[in-house]
Amino acid sequence: MVAEWQSTACVLCECNCGIVVQVEDRALARIRGDKNHPASQGYTCNKALRLDHYQNNRARLTSPMRRRADGSYEEIDWDTAIVEIAEGFKHIRDSYGGDKIFYYGGGGQGNHLGGAYGGAFLKALGAKYRSNALAQEKTGEAWVDAQLYGGHTRGEFEHAEVSVFIGKNPWMSQSFPRARVVLNEIAKDPLRSMIVIDPVVTDTAKMSDFHLRVRPGTDAWCLAAMAAVLVQENLCNEAFLAEHVHGTEVVRDALREVSVRDYALHCGVDEELLRSAARRIGTADSVAVFEDLGVQQAPNSTLCSYLNKLLWIFTGNFGKKGGQHLHSSVAPLFSTVSGRSPVTGAPIIAGLVPSNVVPEEILTDHPDRFRAMIVESANPAHSVADSAACAEAFRSLELLVVVDVAMTETARLAHYVLPAASQYEKVEATFFNFEFPHNGFHLRRPLLDPLPGTLPEPEIWARLVHALGVIDDADLRPLHEAAAQGRDAFAKAFLNAVSANPAMARVVPYVLYRTLGPTLPDGLAGAAAVWGLAQKVAMTYPDAVRRAGHADGNALFDAILNSPSGVTFTAHNYEDDFALITHADHKIALEIPEMLANLRALAAGPHQLTTSEFPIVLSVGERRAYTANDIFRDPSWRKRDTDGALRVSVEDAQHLGLADGGRARVTTAAGSAEATIEITETMLPGHAALPNGFGLDYVDADGRTIVPGVAPNMLTSTDWRDSYAGTPWHKHVPARIEACVGSEVGVSSRS
C-alpha cells in the first residue's frame, strides 16, 4: 500500500510553508509542497525536504530526566517529575516571590501552541518576566513600530514596483511567501526594481538593480542619506503626508541638514548610485521594504529601523497594493508590557527582557535576581551571546526546568528535562501570520503518535497547573457539561465561569484544554486554546473575518479545525490599513525625539569599533543553503559546507596568508575557535562571516560525538548591544583571524 499524503508545514523559518508528507515506519519518507496551502501554494525550499532529520534522530529524549548531585542524569517517571517540579516552583514563589521565576522561549518556528499553555502555569505562579529569540532580533523595530503606528508591518513584495531589502537575503532566509518565485518575477520584470543594502554580495544582491554595498555597520548613514534625498529633491508624497501623518516637518528639518555626499562617503556607497536608488523609490507607484538581522543585530539597529520606515512613509507607500501594511493576527507575538528588568534596569520592550542581560539578571546577589527559570523549546545556552556567561548563570539557578525534544546545551544545565513530542507528533500552529490583505492560519494535525515517553506541551503544562492546585476539578465540571452541548452553550458557560472566578481567569488555556479539549477530534485537544483566539479575532476584525467566509468566532474555529492545509481567516480591503493604526486619530506619528537626536548625531561620522588587536568585522549567524535553526541537530542533512566555513575576502586572505579550504583561528574578546576557510569575492576586505546552526554536538551512527563547525556565541559578547533594545551586535563582532600552522597554502577564491 502507498502511504497517504498528509498535510502539515515546514518548521524551519517563519514562513512555515505548507507541505504534504508520506509517513512510513515513523519516517517522513516523502515531502513536497502543499498546493492547497493559502500562502505558499505548493512552494517550498530545499530545507523542508530534509525534515526527517529533525523528526528521527538520536538526540530525541524519551523520558523525564533529573540531575543527580554529581551532575549526571537519571530517568524518572512523569508523575514524579510533575510533583517535584511543581513543588520546586512553589518553593521559589513562596520564598522569594513569583517574579523571581524567569521564562525563556515559548516555541520555535511553527511551535507556538505550547507557549500559550505555558503562560497559564506562569500566571498561576505569579511569574512576570520572560524573553525569547525575538528579543535578540526584533524588539528595536517593535519599539519604533509601536510609536509610529502601533503594530507590525509587512511589505507586499508580490505586487511591489520597488522592493527594498536591508540586511536581508530572502533568497536564502525566505521570510515571505514563495520568496524565490517572487524574487525571480521581480528580476525578470523590466518595470520593477530591487534594491539591496548589504555589505555582502548575497544571492539576492546579485539579482538586484541597485546593490548599495555599505561598509559593515554603516547602514544608518546610507538610510539617512536616502531619506534625505527624498526630502531634499522633493520626492515626498505630500497629499499622503498631509492626510495621514503627524510630525512630518520636524523630521524633514533634520533630513535637510544631512550632507548626502558626506554620508555616502561614510558608508562607502557611490553617491550617484545612492541617489539613483532613492529616486527610484521616490518615483515608484508602490514600494515594499524588509529589514532583517543584517541591520537588526548591528550598530545603530533601532535607528536603522526608524530610518528605513521613513523611505516608505515619506513616499506614501502604505495602505495601497504593493506597499507596506499593518495586518491582522491570531495571537500577538509582542505584548504591550513595558518597563525595566529587575536587576540591570534594561528596557523591557514588547514584554521581553533583552536576552543579552539575562546572565547579569542571575549572576548577582541582588534581592530581585532571577532564582529559577523555565526554558521551553529554546536553547539560550547556545543561541544567546556569550555562551560561557549563560552557562555559568544557568548553573547558579536554584531551579532550571527545560521542556524540549532533545538534550540540548541548555538542557544539560537543567535540574529537570521534560521530553516533548515533536512538532509532527502533536497538533501545532504558528502565530507568524503577517500577510495582507488576506491573512492565513494553519492548524497542523499530528502525523504520528507521540514517541513513547514523550508528551505534547499542552499536556505537560496542564499536569503542572493541576499540581499547583489553583483550580478544583469541581470548578471545571459545569464547563465539561456545557462543552458536551455544543459551542454556543460552552461559550456562554465559559464567559460566566471566568468572569466569576479570578483564579480560573488566570489560567484560561488550561481551562480550555481540560474542558473543551476532550470534545475536539482525536489528537486535536491541544487546539482548545485556539477557540479562545478565534473568538477574539472575530471581535477584533469582524468585517474582515466575515469577508473571509466566517460568520463568527465559532464558525472560524470550525473552519480552522476542518482545514488541514490552512485557512484564510481575514480578508481586508486596502483602505482598512488605516483603521489598524492604533493611535486614536489613526494617523502615523512620525516624530520620535530619541531617533531624531540619533539621526543628528550621525553627522560626526561612524565610530571605529574595530581595533588593531581585532581589526576584522565578524558577522555570525549567516543564513546559507544548508543552515537552519537549532532543531536540526543531525548534521547529515547538509550536502555542502559541512564544516560551516569562515568566509573571508580575497584581499584579507592574501594579507593573512589564508588558504581556501585551510584552517584558521578566529579570536574575539569573548573567545576563539578554529574554522575552515572559504575565500570569496562576495566579502568586502575587513569583513568575515560564520553561519548559523553549527557547533551543536551529535552522536553519529558509530556512537562518536561530533561537533561540526563553530558555535557562534562562543565568540560574541553580551556587552555589545543596542542602547535602546539591548539587541546583540552579532553582525559586528571585532575579531582577529590567523592561519593555523600548516594551512598557509596559496589563495584562490569563489564568487
Q: Mark whether 531 and 662 lie in a shared domain.
A: no
Phi-psi region of 644 (alpha: psi -120 to 50; beta: other; left: phi over 0): left
Burial class (CB in 10 A: 0-12, 13-18, 19+), 412: middle
What is the model's pLDDT at position 539?
97
Q: Mark whether 182 and 73 lie in a shared domain.
A: no
Question: Which helix (H) or strand (E) element contains residue 723?
Answer: none
C-alpha cell at 63: 523520558
Distance (Å, whole) CA 37 – CA 602: 46
Distance (Å, whole) CA 137 – CA 745: 38
- Please indicate, yes or no, if residue 17 is contained in any of the structural domains: yes
In which residue are the cell numbers 508528507 written?
21
Q: Which of 262, 294, 327 is the last residue of a domain?
A: 327
Short-list 654, 69, 99, 24, CA closest to 348? 99
Q: Which of 327, 358, 382 is the last residue of a domain?
A: 327
Contact 221, 602 (CB under 8 A): yes
Short-list 130, 537, 124, CA closest to 337? 130
Short-list 206, 173, 431, 391, CA closest to 297? 173
CATH of the domain at 724: 2.40.40.20
DSSP 11-31: -SSTT--EEEEEEETTEEEEE
CATH of the domain at 23: 2.20.25.90
Question: Which helix (H) or strand (E) element contains residue 312?
Answer: helix 301-314
Short-list 534, 556, 694, 679, CA closest to 630? 694
- Note the helical H segments in 58-149: 78-96, 113-125, 139-148
What is the model's pLDDT at position 751?
47
Q: Mark whether 180 and 110 lie in a shared domain.
A: no
Beta bridge partners of 663: 676
Q: Which of 571, 596, 626 is the last residue of a domain?
A: 571
Contact 300, 308 (CB under 8 A): no
DSSP helix, strand, coil percent of the chain (3-state; round to 5) = 40, 20, 45
Length of the chain equals 751
- Please indicate, yes or no, if residue 401 is contained in any of the structural domains: yes
- Please indicate, yes or no, if residue 580 is contained in any of the structural domains: no
Beta bridge partners of 646: 677
Specify the amino acid at residue 132: N
Give exposure, 198-212, as e/b (b: 16+ Cβ within 10 Å). Answer: bbbbbbbbebbbbbb
What total of structural domains would you count in the chain?
4
Residues 6+ apart with CB under 8 A from 83: 467
Specify the amino acid at residue 733: V
Q: Mark whether 222 and 289 lie in a shared domain.
A: yes
In whole angstroms, how far apart are CA 108 and each of 17, 151, 192, 274? 15, 22, 35, 38
Structural domain of residue 220, as residue ranges? 138-327
Q: Mark whether 621 and 722 lie in a shared domain.
A: yes
Under DSSP, is residue 697 helix (H, G, I), strand (E, B) or coil?
Answer: coil
Q: Mark whether 503 and 614 lie in a shared domain.
A: no
Output the furthest CA–CA distance in the chain (Å, rounded): 78
DSSP 195-247: EEE-SS--HHHHH-SEEE-PPTT-HHHHHHHHHHHHHHTT-S-HHHHHHHEES
- Please indicate, yes or no, if residue 336 is contained in any of the structural domains: no
What is the model's pLDDT at position 746?
40
Contact 696, 686 (CB under 8 A): no
CATH of the domain at 467: 3.40.50.740
Q: Mark whether 292 and 271 lie in a shared domain.
A: yes
Distance (Å, whole) CA 87 – CA 82: 8
Distance (Å, whole) CA 199 – CA 84: 52
- Please indicate, yes or no, if residue 599 is contained in any of the structural domains: no
Chain segment 519-536, per-residue pLDDT in tens: 999 999 999 999 999 999
Averages of pLDDT over runs of 10 residues in the chain (751 residues) are 89 94 96 96 93 92 97 97 98 98 89 92 96 95 97 97 98 94 98 98 98 98 98 98 98 98 98 98 98 97 98 98 98 88 96 96 98 97 96 98 96 98 96 96 97 97 96 93 94 95 95 97 96 97 98 97 98 97 98 98 95 98 90 91 97 98 97 98 98 93 91 95 95 98 52 47
What is the model's pLDDT at position 750?
52
CATH of the domain at 320: 3.40.228.10
Q: Mark whether 660 and 547 lie in a shared domain.
A: no
Distance (Å, whole) CA 670 – CA 684: 24
Specify the amino acid at residue 115: G
Q: Mark whether 154 and 108 lie in a shared domain.
A: no
What is the model's pLDDT at position 749?
45
* Torsion sign (Cα): 717, 721, 726, 728: negative
Residues 6+ apart with CB under 8 A from 703: none
Half-sphere exposure of 518 (CA within 13 A, CB side): 12
- Please indicate, yes or no, if residue 251 is contained in any of the structural domains: yes
Contact 731, 297 (CB under 8 A): yes
Distance (Å, whole) CA 493 – CA 487: 10
- Please indicate, yes or no, if residue 661 is contained in any of the structural domains: yes
Q: Mark whether 246 and 323 lie in a shared domain.
A: yes
Q: Mark whether 225 and 319 lie in a shared domain.
A: yes
Under DSSP, is residue 384 helix (H, G, I), strand (E, B) or coil?
Answer: coil
Q: Mark whether 674 and 558 lie in a shared domain.
A: no
C-alpha cell at 565: 492545509
- Please indicate, yes or no, if residue 162 is contained in any of the structural domains: yes
